Amino acid sequence: MMANNFLGTKGSISRAVLRVKCHVRNNSTAKYCLDLVRKHDYENYLCTLLLHKDIRRTGFAIRAFNIEVATIQDQVSDLKIGEMRFKFWETSLAEIYNDKIPKHPVLIELYIAAKTHKLSKTYLKRLISSREQFMLNSTLKTIGDMDTYAENSVSSIYYLFLETMGIKSVSVDHAVSHLGKCQGIVNIIRGIPHNVKLGRISIPQDIMLKNKVSYENIIRNSNERNVQDAIYEMASRANSHLIKANKLEKDVDKRVKSIFLPFIPLRLYLEKLQKVDFNLFDKTLQQRNNLLPIKLLWYKITH
């Protein structure tokens, strides 16, 4: 019986994937965005697949745009070249809102989304400016700076999703703000091992100072207690935002629930981090959770 249920659930996911692929297979720009998100952001790829069909295409456009600007930092060694690339996206965004049809596949999809759903230019600009500022200075001085970066680089995505759905609600904005902050902080935590190799330390300085963590501790991939304590503080902050978002989400309209699907991978990651005693360099943290598609579908069905 269990096997039959499992296969049924897996089949439902497969059908959802097929529907999306059929929808975009004759649309090269939409397919480009979908493939880009699948390649670079698998967890959010799964979450976006399960968005309502009316906003799914726009969801992939927004996430693809975010990936384009988020990956600039890792693609360049010269900051001047990085600044030029950010300038390209900033100029292209301005052209979209001046009704100039772009040629880049992600920008074409964003143009369609912006015109169809009247997306705010402000939130899209925040995705660019927050990443550029982080490239130029990846040092976070305080926990508050970490929250601000997470808000601008991730919560902005969820504000755009709400605009796509035509939702105007202070309480829902508050909920997705906390969701974005949690995801932004988790992104920072997950990115530490990679950023260390590039000489970037993104643990807030006040947390490092409080726990007497040195740059050498991080560069050596140290698993010392003080490093674990610093990661624990960051994870606790993320979890606090997740709890608040979860509490606020219970009162939102049912049609908005799918936006909160990232709850699942975020909670699973924080639980796994706790199980390895906040050893950020434990290799199990890099392993993909093969049950995630089923857990996401179950969440959508039951909420």
Quick: pLDDT tens for 23-76.
Answer: 444 489 999 999 999 999 999 999 999 998 889 999 999 999 999 999 999 999
Percent of the chain surpassing pLDDT 90: 75
pLDDT tier, 16 (very low <50, low <70, confident <90, very high otherwise): very low
Using one digit for the tens of pLDDT, what is the confidence trace for 88-137? 999 999 999 999 988 999 999 999 999 999 999 999 999 999 999 999 98
Residue pair 176/155 in contact by the 8 Å Cβ criterion? yes
**What is the spatial distance between Cα 303 and Cα 298, in angstroms, rounded to a whole number?**
9
**What is the spatial distance between Cα 125 and Cα 233, in angstroms, rounded to a whole number?**
30
pLDDT tier, 261 (very low <50, low <70, confident <90, very high otherwise): very high
Using one digit for the tens of pLDDT, what is the confidence trace for 272-286? 999 999 999 999 999
Taken in order of first residue, the domains within the chain and their CATH numbers are: 18-137 (no CATH), 139-302 (1.10.600.10)
For residue 40, with 0-12 CB atoms within 10 Å meaning exposed, 13-18 middle and 19 or more buried, which class applies? middle
Helix, strand, or coil (residue 127): helix
Residue pair 269/186 in contact by the 8 Å Cβ criterion? yes
pTM, whole model, 2 decimals?
Answer: 0.89
Residue pair 172/155 in contact by the 8 Å Cβ criterion? no
Closest of 162, 175, 170, 134 to residue 255, by C-alpha: 162
**What is the spatial distance between Cα 50 and Cα 112, in angstroms, rounded to a whole number?**
21
CA neighbours within 13 Å on the CB side: how many for 251? 11
**What is the spatial distance between Cα 245 and Cα 174, in angstroms, rounded to a whole number?**
8
**What is the spatial distance between Cα 24 and Cα 53, in angstroms, rounded to a whole number?**
12
For residue 296, with 0-12 CB atoms within 10 Å meaning exposed, 13-18 middle and 19 or more buried, which class applies? buried
Using one digit for the tens of pLDDT, what is the confidence trace for 183-215? 999 999 999 998 888 888 899 999 999 999 988
Closest of 99, 156, 100, 154 to residue 124, by C-alpha: 156
**pLDDT average, residue stretch 180-185:** 98
**What is the spatial distance between Cα 246 and Cα 171, in angstroms, rounded to a whole number?**
12
